[in-house]
């Protein structure tokens, strides 16, 4: 249906963006691991922020890909 109508260019762009998201995710995760050793109270807000950012980015790419 709608998924079949995605052009190869948009699909490629989507996959590249997805790679960038996961790279950002792992860099955030490394920072979080370092923070958790220092102070656990600083750890939790970053997780919420990270989840929100990734969800927002995935949503925008999803909307862009399926227009």
pLDDT of residue 39: 54
> Is residue 4 included in any domain, yes or no?
no
Residue 18, in any domain of the structure: no
Q: For 33-64, what is each residue's pLDDT tens digit?
A: 665 555 555 556 666 666 666 667 666 666 55
The pLDDT, as a whole number, for residue 44 is 60
Domain count, the chain: 1
For residue 30, give its domain range. 23-67
- Give domain status of residue 7, yes or no: no
- The answer to the question of residue 57 being in a domain is yes
Q: Does a structural domain hold residue 10?
A: no
Q: Which residues lie closer than 8 Å to 11 by C-beta, 6 or more apart? A: 65
Structural domain includes residue 8: no
Mean of the per-residue pLDDT values of the chain:
63
Q: Report the pLDDT averaged over residues 27-31.
A: 70
pLDDT at 1: 42
């Amino acid at each position: 249906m709608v998924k079949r109508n995605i052009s190869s260019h948009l699909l490629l762009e989507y996959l590249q963006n997805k790679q960038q998201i996961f790279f950002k995710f792992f860099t955030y995760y490394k920072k979080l691991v370092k923070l958790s050793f220092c102070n656990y109270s600083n750890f939790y807000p970053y997780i919420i922020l990270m989840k929100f950012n990734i969800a927002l980015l995935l949503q925008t790419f999803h909307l862009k890909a399926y227009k």
